């Protein structure tokens, strides 16, 4: 009996001894992170008339596959993705303008423009900007300077004879006033050098050269070409003006070519291409207006109004007058 009781006590001790079992602590729920929402890139901006700057209401703006119409103030907004596609601005009364936007997937503002046809002469612009008067079936891409040119004036002619210092100064003075005038104040003459050498083919330079030519051609020039030439016929009766060895109108005409203009075919113009008996004349207000339009488009713009996808290279062409 004693032995049996001992065993029972031992079993009870084994079953009841020690600390009571602990209950598991409830863990707080793990929060679910919110779903990531990719922000929508939005392209916004205003559309204005290249000729005049007024807001263009009702213009259709297309970028890639997206399209919208400007509001009454000429504003547009295009939400929807990456913008690196071709754009067009079109609509009633507008000359469609197309080009390319730099690739970006971020929201940004880009202002656009187009010519309003009620105050724009397409034929005239085609002539002076794309050589449409002399080569209507072989239109040229637009040429112009994108930085202020440096001027190199040779001090000798093609026979090695010296050019009078006052004639050199006449050309330097004229060029210094013409470049800002012809570019609407955008550019000027960056530097002037003189010498017996040449800067032909060197980026950033316009070289003024002199010839004694009896063919009655008073001037020649490369059109809108860095490293180009302006060649003037020196000390010939048909190209002189009184005691002056070269008439100012020739210098003004050739620098019109040098800054990007072709012949207009309009007799009233300095850039007509018909020649002139006047010692001195200036560009008409219309010529200067359309020259300003030319400088509102990038190099390589093609007829009627198509911008290149990148800076375009144009082959040098020299115009003889």
Q: In CATH, what number is assigned to the domain containing residue 105?
A: 2.60.40.1120
Residue 292's CATH number: 3.40.390.10
Cα Rg of the chain (Å, integer)? 37
- Total domain count for the chain? 2
Q: Is residue 226 part of a domain?
A: yes
Residues facing residue 61 across a β-bridge: 68, 89
The low-confidence residues of the chain, meaning pLDDT below 70, are 1-40, 81-84, 311
291 plus 165 within the same structural domain? yes
Q: Is residue 145 part of a domain?
A: no
pLDDT at 85: 81
58 plus 183 within the same structural domain? no
pLDDT at 261: 98
254 plus 177 within the same structural domain? yes
266 plus 195 within the same structural domain? yes
Q: What is the token pair recorded at 51?
A: 């000729």
Q: What is the pTM of this model?
A: 0.85
198 plus 266 within the same structural domain? yes
Q: Is residue 286 part of a domain?
A: yes
241 plus 285 within the same structural domain? yes
Burial level of 130, CB count in 10 A (0-12/13-18/19+)? buried
257 plus 162 within the same structural domain? yes
294 plus 154 within the same structural domain? yes
Q: CA of 278: how far to CAs of 125, 175, 218, 247, 281, in Å?
A: 25, 19, 13, 8, 7
pLDDT at 82: 61
Of the candidates 118, 124, 46, the one whose C-alpha atom is nearest the C-alpha of residue 294 is 124
192 plus 59 within the same structural domain? no
The residue segments making up the domain with residue 54 are: 42-120
Residue 299 and residue 314 in contact, taking contact as beta carbons nearer than 8 Å: yes
Half-sphere exposure of 122 (CA within 13 A, CB side): 15
């Amino acid at each position: 009996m004693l032995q049996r009781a001992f065993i029972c006590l031992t079993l009870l001790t084994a079953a009841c001894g020690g600390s009571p079992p602990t209950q598991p602590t409830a863990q707080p729920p793990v929060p679910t992170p919110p779903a990531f929402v990719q922000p929508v890139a939005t392209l916004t901006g205003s559309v204005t008339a290249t000729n005049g700057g007024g807001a263009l209401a009702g213009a259709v703006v297309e970028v890639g596959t997206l399209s919208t119409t400007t509001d009454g103030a000429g504003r547009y907004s295009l939400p929807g993705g990456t913008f690196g596609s071709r754009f067009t601005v079109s609509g009633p009364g507008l000359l469609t303008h197309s080009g390319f936007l730099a690739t970006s997937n971020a929201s940004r503002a880009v202002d656009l423009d187009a010519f309003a046809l009620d105050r724009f002469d397409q034929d005239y612009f085609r002539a002076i900007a794309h050589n449409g008067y002399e080569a209507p079936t072989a239109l040229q891409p637009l040429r112009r300077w994108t930085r202020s040119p440096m001027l190199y004036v040779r001090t000798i002619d093609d026979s090695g004879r010296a050019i009078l210092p006052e004639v050199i100064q006449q050309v330097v003075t004229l060029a210094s006033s013409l470049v800002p005038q012809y570019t609407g104040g955008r550019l000027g003459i960056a530097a002037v050098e003189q010498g017996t050498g040449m800067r032909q083919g060197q980026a950033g330079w316009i070289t003024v050269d002199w010839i004694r030519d009896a063919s009655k051609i008073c001037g020649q020039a490369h059109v809108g070409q860095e490293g180009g030439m302006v060649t003037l016929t020196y000390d010939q009766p048909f190209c002189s003006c009184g005691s002056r060895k070269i008439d100012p109108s020739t210098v003004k005409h050739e620098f019109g070519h040098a800054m990007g203009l072709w012949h207009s075919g309009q007799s009233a113009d300095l850039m007509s291409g018909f020649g002139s008996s006047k010692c001195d004349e200036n560009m008409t207000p219309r010529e200067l207006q359309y020259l300003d339009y030319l400088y509102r488009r990038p190099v390589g713009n093609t007829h009627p109004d198509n911008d290149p996808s990148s800076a375009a290279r144009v082959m040098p062409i020299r115009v003889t007058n």
